[in-house]
Amino acid sequence: MDNFNTYQTPLSSRYASKEMAHLFSPANRFYTWRKLWLNLAIAERELGLPIPEEAIEQMKHNLELTPEQFDIAAKEEKKRRHDVMAHVYTFGTVAPAAAGIIHLGATSCYVTDNADLIFLRTGLDYLIRSLSVLISRLASFAGQYRDLPTLGFTHYQPAQLTTVGKRATLWIQELLWDLRNIKRARDDLGFRGVKGTTGTQASFLALFDGDHAKVEELDKLVTTLSGFSYAYPVTSQTYSRKIDVDVLSPLASLGASAHKIATDLRLLANLKEVEEPFESTQIGSSAMAYKRNPMRSERVCSLARHLMVLHQNALMTSSVQWFERTLDDSANRRITLPEAFLTADIVISTLQNISEGLVVYPKVIARRIAQELPFMATENVIMAIVKKGGDRQEAHEKIRVLSQEAAYQVKQLGLENDLIARIQADPYFDPIKGDLETLMDPQSFIGRAPEQVDGFLKEWVEPALADADLQDAIRKSVKVELSV
């Protein structure tokens, strides 16, 4: 196994939630190893191996490591250069009746790999709950601004109007897909189980004097005791590293969703239409005192890129596992797997903090609409003229000329868009001048956006969050406070 001190808590854990940080902590890792050794001993005793009850009891009462035991394990690992054997020895010092049977028949990957699968499944559970809270927060925002018109953008150029709430549903929909994908990954996870050094279960077959049925039952018992519904039918020394690929894939996809949301918010901050939370004492720039930089959204983008890249590690590691296993996966996975979960956790919590303090500026939004809407309304004006008996081609030419004149005012002279004033001054448009205010109402340009928001929240978001566990997470969630 790897050298001493390879299971230190990753640096990013200090910024993650307490539960996620604890999940990948040395304390929880070695507690889980001990629980797996206990489960193995219980199952082996149940199937007839001569393991005394006293050994089981001593193991049960010493699952948590004390600081003194950590010191013993560290010294032993430094001497033996083998982490698992160091902890087998350390466990035996506090459970002496079990010292001779701890790890009986097992290979190191019995504890390391099975523990990793437990951590992956638990970590996915945590992310599902926190992602549900984020979706709930954004759903409230979408509902609040369901019918507030805002300028849409395609190619980051002014396009037809949408609403602030409708735009938020685009973010939520991607997060719903992430929620679905993470659930799928969690539900697909199996257990490595009791497979032996190269996956043949030879050592356990020897322990049970060639009784294949008992070896199969041992695998099932340990799997059940460890909380899994099934074990992978075949493994090598390790579980297939393709499992890590399957787990990190939805996390990388979540990173892409988060990056897109945070980028939209950064662009909106530049437009001064929507801003992330900004504290009263927060400083945006050491030189430019007026600045309100979207620091939280920038942080999300930064971490999301890291999260997306980590998936590549899992792919490469899976692709280079020779035959029954090579050890070049180990050090990489001890960094990659915790970092992926810790980073995903931070990304979600930061987005939650942003979503809970988003500030919308309707007057700024309305001003930008007023600058662009006259051009977008030209088709409505043409249709109105036609309805009054006018000629469509003649009306089109009139509007084309006036639009170019107004565009000159905006682009060449830096003035406001005066297209409507030009239309009002042209006698040709006398038949519809009384209708211009209605024709220019932003609400008439948002289509079914409000109804789409309502339908999406009711038919898609509510069912996705209806699970009792997710509702419990939403009820118990508190506002996330972040240091900027």
- The tokens of 83 are what? 């982490």
Neighbour count for residue 162 (Cβ, 10 Å) = 21
List the catalytic residue out of 22, 61, 229, 285.
Answer: 285
Distance from C-alpha of 44 to C-alpha of 47, rounded to nearest angstrom: 5
What does DSSP assign to residue 432? Answer: G
Distances (CA, A) of 353 to 252, 296, 300, 330, 361: 21, 9, 11, 35, 19
- The tokens of 203 are what? 């050592």
- 351 backbone dihedrals φ, ψ, rounded to 5°: -65, -35
Contact predicate 245/321, CB 8 Å: no
Distance from C-alpha of 323 to C-alpha of 2, rounded to nearest angstrom: 20
Dihedral angle sign, alpha carbons of residues 441, 447, 450, 453:
negative
Distances (CA, A) of 285 to 46, 95, 481: 67, 58, 21
- The tokens of 24 are what? 């990948």
Asked if 155 is an active-site residue, the reply is yes
What does DSSP assign to residue 271? Answer: H
Contact predicate 24/9, CB 8 Å: yes
- The tokens of 292 are what? 């309100």
**What angle separates helix 108-144 from helix 330-355, to the nearest 10 degrees?**
20
Contact predicate 165/145, CB 8 Å: yes
Say if strands 359-360 and 274-275 run parallel, antiparallel, or are unpaired. Answer: antiparallel
List the catalytic residue out of 155, 280, 286, 483.
Answer: 155
Distance from C-alpha of 293 to C-alpha of 284, rounded to nearest angstrom: 5
Asked if 61 is an active-site residue, the reply is no
Identify any residues that bridge with 161 across adjacent strands, giving them in sequence order: 151
Instruction: Give buried/exposed letters for 193-218 (b at 16+ CB in 10 A, else e).
Output: bbbbbebebebbbebbeeeeebbeeb
Find, among 324, 308, 183, 309, the residue nearest to 240 by Cα. 324
Q: Which amino acids are annotated catalytic?
A: 155, 285
